[in-house]
Amino acid sequence: MKKIITLALAAVFAVSALAGCSSRQKGGTVSTDGSTSMEEVIGVLGEAFQEKYSGMTFTYNPTGSGSGIQAVKEGRCDIGLSSRSLKEEEKADGLIETVLANDGIAVIVNPKNEVSDLDVETIAKIYMGEITNWSELGGNDAEIVVIGREAGSGTRDGFESITGTEDACKYRQELTSTGDVITTVSQNPDAIGYASLAAVSDQVKTLSVGGVMPSEATVKDGSYVIQRPFVLVTKEGTELSDAAQKFFDFATSDEAAPFISQAGAVPVK
Amino acid sequence: MKKQKVFENFIHGIFLILGLITVGCVLLITIYLIVSGIPAIQKIGLWDFIFGKEWASTAKEPSYGILPFILTSVYGTAGAILIGVPIGFLTSVYLAKLAPAKIRMVVSGAVSLLAGIPSVVYGLVGMMVLVPSIRNLFHIPDGASLFAAIIVLAIMILPSIINVSITALEAVPKEYEDASLALGATPVETYFKVSVPAAKSGIAAAVVLGVGRAIGEAMAVMMVSGNAPNLPELFGSVRFLTTAVASEMSYSSGLQRQALFSIALVLFLFIMLINAALNFFLKRSKEE
């Protein structure tokens, strides 16, 4: 299903990219490439941008953070999108990161679960299979059912890198969408899962992490630790095209903040 | 006269082209799968790929072993056949031979309806109803398992088995049955000792068709099987060949993506084998 949507989006973007060629003289094209987790944020920003500057064409290629960073490095797009901070070696290659927004990853359990607070180390232990029963955490005597996302997902990547559990998670279920994770956790009283803060609903109970509940405020001031940045990646020494610079300025301005909030992320401004 | 012939040839040409479109699609898919499936197998090594027990496609040191997926697909399909075939077979005998017209109408209507339900709906119902019930019934931590997938698949293959078996049973000449009845056999004896053996190739074709449907299903099993790449256990979380491709395709890149195409190629070979078997049985059923 997601594949079909991705294909359809790719087709739309391909067509709009073609259309962009013909109208390049009067407007200009901004091409972005990268994180699929930023799809909603960048989609809303792109729309708002095109509304503000008529004639501009905006394209977004959902390939994943790694591919987006690579694309900027090779000059295949104007702005790269990454849902993680740049690594030291990437910065050494002359890439610059500008944090656009932050996104909290909520840790969720079934509403019937009595546990309401865990710290990051405990969460990591649960996901690595070192703690396997809720009774060890003051809950019922029941085996913990660990729910996660499929390999390659931005949310999984973000969650595992913050909790330090890369390649070590022992998942009972690997589901392919945020919605599936929430539904499954809401169905199983012993399940634990993670999902983008913006998507979490009343069906499940959101845990506080180290005593801090995730919210726009706690993500913004950094006290909620399971969060990841949404980053615009540019290359040092390469001047952005006029259109790309306009988009960059727009996306990082105060004006863009409500759009970012609307898409469920927490703007830095 | 001549004009008419030109027109005839023209129409023939159009039909030929339309027919070739199908052949072309099959060829295109086959060639594409082989071309994009081979490189990863070469890189990983055929033995490590087919018989590797660990799948960790995005790990720092990735491993690409698809034995868990192959075994899961085989076990899952076998389980679905084990449950689905007796139910489907007996239903078709009942419908073809025993059922009063009214009941037959209602039941075959229900069977057609079952065939028309999209697989995502099977998955959704499985996820919301079947998975929690398995969890409570067997007192296991999580109901999403091979067992749940088998149940869903068994129900999904019922319509193909029932419909094809009915056609086969109805094609048995009435004289066979009349002769058996005239010799003093009871109706039930007649059905099981005369009609069913006479229709056995058709029924075998129905079973193979069921196998094909079960092994190719992705959406419904993805929602109920848990998707962790473990070696299959009846109440464990498992990943099928189909769901291995479907669940990782959207974010995959590099060798991971190539390996997904290789999995698709393996699946394709399985389906080809099943199709060959199906053709064999159908041909034999015609010859009889």
* Nearest neighbour of A172 by CB, restricted to B142, B239, B252: B142
What is residue A19's predicted lDDT score, i.e. its pLDDT?
A: 46
Measure in Å the smallest separation between the Cα of A131 and chain B Cα atoms: 15
Half-sphere exposure of A37 (CA within 13 A, CB side): 32
Asked whether the beta carbons of A108 and A182 are under 8 A apart, the reply is yes
What is residue A11's predicted lDDT score, i.e. its pLDDT?
A: 53
* Interface contact flag, A167 B135, Cβ < 8 Å: no
For residue A25, name the pLDDT band (cuts at 50, 70, 90). Answer: very low
How far apart (Å, rounded) are the C-alpha atoms in residues A157 and A34? 14
Which residue in A has a C-alpha nearest to residue B136's C-alpha? Answer: A188
| Contact A140/B at CB under 8 A | no
Q: Which domains does chain B have, with CATH numbers?
A: 49-287 (1.10.3720.10)
pLDDT in tens, A140-189: 899 999 999 888 777 888 899 889 888 888 999 998 888 889 989 998 99
pLDDT in tens, A180-219: 899 899 989 999 999 988 778 888 999 999 999 998 889 8
* Interface contact flag, A173 B132, Cβ < 8 Å: no
Beta strands in B135-259 (DSSP E): none
pLDDT of A70 strictly over 50: yes
Give the number of other Cβ atoms within 10 Å of residue A199's Cβ: 16
**Tokens for B136?**
């409570």
Which residue in A has a C-alpha nearest to residue B219's C-alpha? Answer: A1
The pLDDT profile of chain B, 288 residues, written as one tens digit per residue, is 678 889 999 999 999 999 999 999 999 999 999 999 999 999 999 999 999 999 988 777 889 999 999 999 999 999 999 999 999 999 999 999 888 999 999 999 999 999 999 999 999 999 989 999 999 999 888 889 999 999 999 999 999 999 999 999 999 999 999 999 999 999 889 999 999 999 988 898 899 999 999 999 999 999 899 888 989 999 999 999 999 998 887 777 778 888 999 999 999 999 999 889 888 888 887 776
CB under 8 Å to B20, separation ≥6 — which residues?
A: none
What integer best gives the mean pLDDT of chain A? 84
What is residue A5's predicted lDDT score, i.e. its pLDDT?
A: 54
Percent of chain A with pLDDT over 70: 90
For residue A6, name the pLDDT band (cuts at 50, 70, 90). Answer: low
What is residue B1's predicted lDDT score, i.e. its pLDDT?
A: 62
Q: What is the model's pTM? A: 0.79
**Tokens for A262?**
């609307």
How far apart (Å, rounded) are the C-alpha atoms in residues A175 and A180? 6
* Nearest neighbour of A152 by CB, restricted to B141, B246, B248: B248
**Tokens for B36?**
């994009």
pLDDT of A21 strictly over 60: no
**Tokens for A210?**
């180290």
What is residue A22's predicted lDDT score, i.e. its pLDDT?
A: 41
Which residue in B has a C-alpha nearest to residue A134's C-alpha? Answer: B141
Q: Is the dihedral of CA B182, B184, B185, B186 positive or negative?
A: positive
| Contact A173/B at CB under 8 A | yes
* Nearest neighbour of A188 by CB, restricted to B57, B135, B253: B135
pLDDT of A32 strictly over 70: yes
* Interface contact flag, A173 B142, Cβ < 8 Å: yes
| Contact A82/B at CB under 8 A | no
**Which candidate, A235, A202, A249, A28, places its Cα nearest to that of A106?**
A202
pLDDT of A4 strictly over 70: no
* Interface contact flag, A173 B120, Cβ < 8 Å: no
* Interface contact flag, A151 B222, Cβ < 8 Å: no
* Nearest neighbour of B141 by CB, restricted to A36, A145, A187: A145
* Interface contact flag, B252 A152, Cβ < 8 Å: yes
Measure in Å the smallest separation between the Cα of A149 and chain B Cα atoms: 10
| C-alpha distances out from residue A237 to A28, A72, A82, A89, A245, Å | 21, 12, 20, 17, 14
Measure in Å the smallest separation between the Cα of A238 and chain B Cα atoms: 27
| Contact A184/B at CB under 8 A | yes
What is residue B17's predicted lDDT score, i.e. its pLDDT?
A: 94
* Interface contact flag, A67 B141, Cβ < 8 Å: no
**Which residues in chain A have their CB less than 8 angstroms from residue B144's CB?**
172-173, 184
**Tokens for A10?**
């790719």
Half-sphere exposure of A48 (CA within 13 A, CB side): 22
Residue of B131, B142, B219 to mutate, testing the A interface (most A Cβ within 10 Å of its Cβ): B142
